[in-house]
Structure 1
Amino acid sequence: MTAAATFSVPDEAAMVRLGALLGAASQPGAVVYLCGGLGMGKTTLSRGLVQSFGHRGAVKSPTYTLVEPYQFGELEVFHFDLYRLADPAELEFMGIWDYFGPHSLCLVEWPERGAGVLPRADLAITITAAGSGRSLQVQAGSDVGEHILARWQSAARA
């Protein structure tokens, strides 16, 4: 897969909006990796995505629980934060494979901490600082990822 894109994000509100557009472009069964240092906006992007499905409560980083589930009809969104994961084998003990399925959309912060256990990403997003804003480098890792990225880019341009 070679589809890639870059998004410039000037502020938090724009990150939330971009997350909402990603939610609208996503599809069940997809796995999205969210990479970047502390405070780069991974959870903010996730908040926009989760809210795009109608969630009105808080969307926080599940740093201590590892996963936060959200139910939207038949769609389940699972937001993982693996920052505190000591060993990828811990994911096996928590039944990680039960979360990844055809009716779920999985967002994984700090996916490198689950290397060797996590499924491959359909979309990998790396967030870095860019002046006072952020830059998102997006790489599709599958046909599903390419379709999501194309829809996301189209929505972001509109």
Structure 2
Amino acid sequence: MHHYQCQLNSEDEMVVFGRRLGELLALHPQSVTVHLLGELGAGKTTLTRGILRAFGHQGAVKSPTYTLVEGYELNPGQSAVRRIYHFDLYRLGDPEELEYMGIRDYFADDNICLIEWPARGEGVLPEPDIVVRIQAEGEGRRLQLESRSLALDF
């Protein structure tokens, strides 16, 4: 298990950190599950924007609060397309709802799944490869990353 923590003092720094994390995720060809933990407004979607930037996405990134999942098919300069799914389970009423939407299909192949509010899907979601905790600290954010199954070198 690998741990990393840092202080980020702006939205731009959160995007840069996310981009670096995305670059590291691109090196792993297998499926990766990332749990994003933090209160409302902590920066989970901003971090996701940075991860998507590493894969070449330049468009807007919004939290899929009402749709539960937003999918992206991206090619980070490699021959293969990577699918990245951004989940926001904040409004999920019952974890069983995930079964109805075919949740297991999202965690196949070489997909990357970024999940906000993963506790709401407990018992249905797979164990995370990476857990990112974001906490407000002063004007910035304290970010703690725990890599449970991947070797990440920050």
Taking structure 2 as the reference length, the TM-score comes to 0.91
Do 1:78 and 1:99's aligned partners in 2 also have CA atoms closer than 8 Å? yes
Q: Does 1:24 align with 2:54?
A: no
- 2:54 pairs, out of 38, 52, 55, with 52
Structure 1 unaligned spans of 5+ = 154-158
Residue in structure 1 matched with residue 63 of structure 2 by the alignment: 61
Aligned-pair Cα RMSD in Å:
1.0
User: Could you tell me which residue of structure 2 aligns to residue 109 of structure 1?
Assistant: 116
- For the pair 1:87 / 2:86, whether they are aligned, the reply is no
| Deviation sequence 1:57-95 (CA, Å, 0-9, x none) | 111000000000000142100000000001000000100
Aligned residue for 2:57, secondary structure, equals coil
- Which range moves more in the overlay, 37-46 or 51-60? 51-60
Q: Structure 1 length as normaliser, TM-score? A: 0.89
Identity rate, percent: 51
Q: Determine helix, strand or coil for the equivalent of 2:126.
A: coil
Give the match's secondary structure for 1:90: helix
User: Equivalent residue of 2:128, what SS?
Assistant: coil
Indicate conservation of the 8 Å contact 1:19/1:47, yes or no.
Answer: yes
Bigger Cα displacement from structure 2, 106-115 vs 23-32: 23-32
Structure 2 alignment gaps of length 5 or more: 76-80
Paired positions, count:
146
Query: What amino acid is aligned across from residue 11 of structure 2 in structure 1?
Result: E
**Which letter maps to 1:53?**
F
Residue identity matched to 2:117:
W
Q: After TM superposition, what 4+ stretches of structure 1 lie above 4 angstroms from structure 2?
A: none
